[in-house]
Amino acid sequence: MPDTWVVVGLDNGGTCNNATVLDASGKFLVDRLVEIPSRVTEGPEIAVGALAEALEGVLALTGVERSRVRAVGLDTPGPASADGVISSKGATNFPQPAWWGFDVRTALEERLGLPVVYNNDGNAAALYAHHAHFGAEAAEHSSISAIVGTGLGGGVIEAGQVVRGAAGMAGELGHVHIPMEGLLAEGQPLPMCNCGFGADAESVASLTGIAANLLPYWLTRFPGHELAGVPILEAAKLVRSRGEDGDPLALKIFEQQAMALGRLFTIAANFTDPSAYFIGGGVVETGPKFREWFLDTVREHTVLREEQQRVASFALVPDLDMAGARGAAIAARDASAP
């Protein structure tokens, strides 16, 4: 029967694959992580096999027969093309030469014998945030999402659909240049990004930005701080918990990150004028008090016109650990709908 079909969403990461199932009525059949090792460090053939295993596992868990699967949604970290070809220079999660220029979408499609719809992980999470927020009215709205993690990912959604761009690089919010005047403290060096840009959003609002740019500076302003004796990358990972505890150094860092995101959203307001602005990532995987403070600070530094203020909303990406797989499933559903 037409209403018995399902789609499967597969979220591929550096450590694990997460899978979900979305039925024809729009209901997700699992409400938790369903993970297995992604095995990406073992090369494309084994990693594609692990994705196929993730699909079979979630179907067994939900009791769904494979014949009911209409399509599969896949997301991976970038950079990759809109069609799922990993960058010719590789990527953080795909550093081995065998991955360079590898067409992961087609490889999985051939392995499964099912249509596979690809998005990068930031776009998939953005798509889920949009649909979860707007529900049945998703097609009537636009949104922009910033996902703060090791880097700064995100996505732009227009009329309920991912804006991909000509080369699949739309929504790379981390590499948008933002004004630094008034954001940097006295004597604070211009932050640099791993991509080679200076003063882009990721150089501030990311874990790598904390380790390379923000923490080294703020440690000089808080002599004797407990993080001074910790290796810098390890110390950067500890900043979030210190922020939740109200540590003044950590709060300075997160205030700068929130300011950077506000300035990024201000730029977005002037070229996409979205209905909603979403924040996700580790920075908001925190207690309610801290994440609400962070979201309020982002909102405070997002400059909107009066007309925009009346209609725009700010929110957190929900169910973030499941957002990628769920967004991938939504993309597959929309692409395969009759």
DSSP-assigned letters across all residues of 3-24: GG-EEEEEEE-SSEEEEEEEET
Q: Coil, strand, or helix at residue 274?
A: coil
pLDDT of residue 95: 84
* Ranges of residues in the chain whose predicted pLDDT is under 50: 1
pLDDT of residue 196: 81
pLDDT of residue 169: 77
Q: Which amino acid is at 15?
A: T
pLDDT of residue 2: 54
| CA distances in angstroms from 31 to 20, 73, 120, 265, 280, listed in the order given | 8, 17, 22, 31, 19
* pTM, to two decimals: 0.92
Helices (H), the chain: 44-62, 104-112, 121-134, 207-209, 215-221, 232-244, 248-271, 288-300, 306-311, 320-336
pLDDT of residue 145: 97
Q: Coil, strand, or helix at residue 129?
A: helix
Sheet holding 35-37, edge to edge: 35-37, 16-23, 6-12, 69-76, 116-120
Nearest CA among 121, 129, 35 for reference residue 86: 121
Token digits of residue 11 = 């979220």
Q: What is the Cα Rg of the chain in Å? A: 20
